[in-house]
Amino acid sequence: MKIWVTGSAGFIGFHLARRLLDEGHFITGIDGFTPYYDLKLKQARHAILERSNGFRPKRFMLEDQVALGALAQEDPPEIILHLAGQAGVRYSLENPRAYVDANLTGLFNLMEVAREAQVKHFLFASTSSVYGANASIPFRENDRTDQPMTLYAATKKSGETMLHSYAHLWAMPVTCFRFFTVYGPWGRPDMALFKFVDAIEGGRPIEVYGEGRMERDFTYIDDLIEAIIRLMPLAPCMGAPVGPEGLDSLSPVGPHRVVNIAGGQPVGLLPFIDTIEKAVGRKAIRQMLPMQKGDVPRTFASPDLLGALTGFRPAIGVEQGVQAFVDWYRAWKRTV
């Protein structure tokens, strides 16, 4: 199939595009190469993708309506996998406008392309952060998500609702994924695992926020990609919910669904650091700090809907996943 992957130089977009290329699809990879973190990492990811004859790289921002429209005329997509956007909870406190531009304006431009191309399925990367102040555990797709704790979360929730309106108005099939702390090889340098490994290897202290009392539902990248691949052909269809009543998030007024992607097995931050120390073979110097603005104490997904739809649930544990990351990190550092 002819598939657009936005954010193809990013952590998740890279892994997803590579898997789709392996399966024989034709991928147009769109990325703006923003300097949010080291561009060498983004360039190295894209260089791997560009070895495939099925990959077509395009470098521009989704806020560029002219460039996006020209590409749509030249190469209309059958499926859009929208992983581009400004990520990071803490960075949204420093540069909030970047989130409005990328996560709202960029998404709107892409929605217009999808509407005009009549795509078979629009798949959107949302986040567990939309659950915000939700106190119900585990987080289920039908829980309230109207109390975001950061602008980042607010823009992602807005993206879900913007897409719902197009699903209703134009019968555009939409699946929104809510990701939970994705990690693994080629991961982002601003995320805890990369920062912790880099600091421990360099003999520097690691910053442990919330004094280590936080828990996260960590999701290894291979599990995440497998879930997306299985969901891709399952375009939502009105009137066809799955599972027992109340499980499915399928909208009653449009082909729109929200799905958690996580294993539903949260791990405490301190045990996670213990696992990193074991993989690295060195103890961390732990600098205990209070909770940062916008952080939540716990994320805990229900994977029941994902399981009902696909028969799959993420299951790779942090011991295996962290070791794979450390092995990749050491190989990467030898090249830069």
Active site residue 37: no
Give the 3-state secondary structure of residue 69.
helix
Residue type for 10, please? G
Give the 3-state secondary structure of residue 128.
helix
Closest Cα to residue 291, out of 150, 144, 81? 150
The pair of three-digit structure tokens given for residue 2, joined into one six-digit string? 């002819």
The pair of three-digit structure tokens given for residue 141, joined into one six-digit string? 């797709």
The pair of three-digit structure tokens given for residue 51, joined into one six-digit string? 């070895």
Neighbours of 39 (CB within 10 A): 12
How far apart, in whole angstroms, are the C-alpha atoms of residue 315 and residue 312?
9
Which DSSP string do the residues of 281-321 spell out, in sequence order? TS--EEEE-PPPTT--SB--B--HHHHHHHS------HHHH
Which residues have C-beta within 8 Å of that of residue 237, sequence separation ≥ 6? 173, 255
How far apart, in whole angstroms, are the C-alpha atoms of residue 326 and residue 198?
9
Q: Which of 99, 152, 166, 220 is labelled catalytic?
A: 152
Give the 3-state secondary structure of residue 88.
coil
First to last CA, the chain: 35
Closest Cα to residue 118, out of 255, 9, 212, 221? 255
Phi then psi dihedrals of residue 120, to 5 deg: -75, -25
CB 82, CB 9: distance < 8 Å: no
Q: Annotated active-site positions, please?
A: 152
